[in-house]
Amino acid sequence: MVLKSGRFGKFLACSKYPECKTTKPLATGVKCPEDGGDIVERRSKRGKSFWSCSNYPKCKFATWHKPVPKKCPKCSALFMVEKWDKAGNVSLSCLNKECNHKEELKREEAAS
């Protein structure tokens, strides 16, 4: 498998691509909280990005927010998600509904 770049971004493909049609999306480095698979970026039918487990259809985990490999300091969840508001401010939020931990990020931190 080699790293390729296409109109929808980077992806892993067979070294003989496009003759060999085997492709895989790039992993985000975050493990799925439900079954431990990798969380990968995908596109909806309308082109909007979302993140889901690589073990689909066995695992149905999905989120509209980008996962960040940072543990929640309050509940020790495996990752937090990056949320943007309409003003362009970025925050990290925990997906655990009982926790609701939120951290504001500076624009320089969000760009990296």
Burial class (CB in 10 A: 0-12, 13-18, 19+), 22: exposed
CATH number for 68-112 (one of 3.20.20, 2.20.25, 2.60.40, 2.30.30): it is: 2.20.25
pLDDT, tens digit (0-9, with 9 covering 90-100), for 56-97: 889 988 989 889 888 888 888 888 888 888 888 888 888 887
Looking at residue 64, its pLDDT comes to 92
Q: Where does the pLDDT of residue 108 fall: very low under 50, low under 70, confident under 90, or very high at 90 and above?
A: low
Are 22 and 31 a contacting pair, CB within 8 Å? Answer: no
Domain boundaries, the chain: 68-112
pLDDT, tens digit (0-9, with 9 covering 90-100), for 6-40: 776 777 888 887 788 887 777 778 888 888 888 88
What single letter denotes the amino acid at residue 34?
A: E
Looking at residue 79, its pLDDT comes to 87
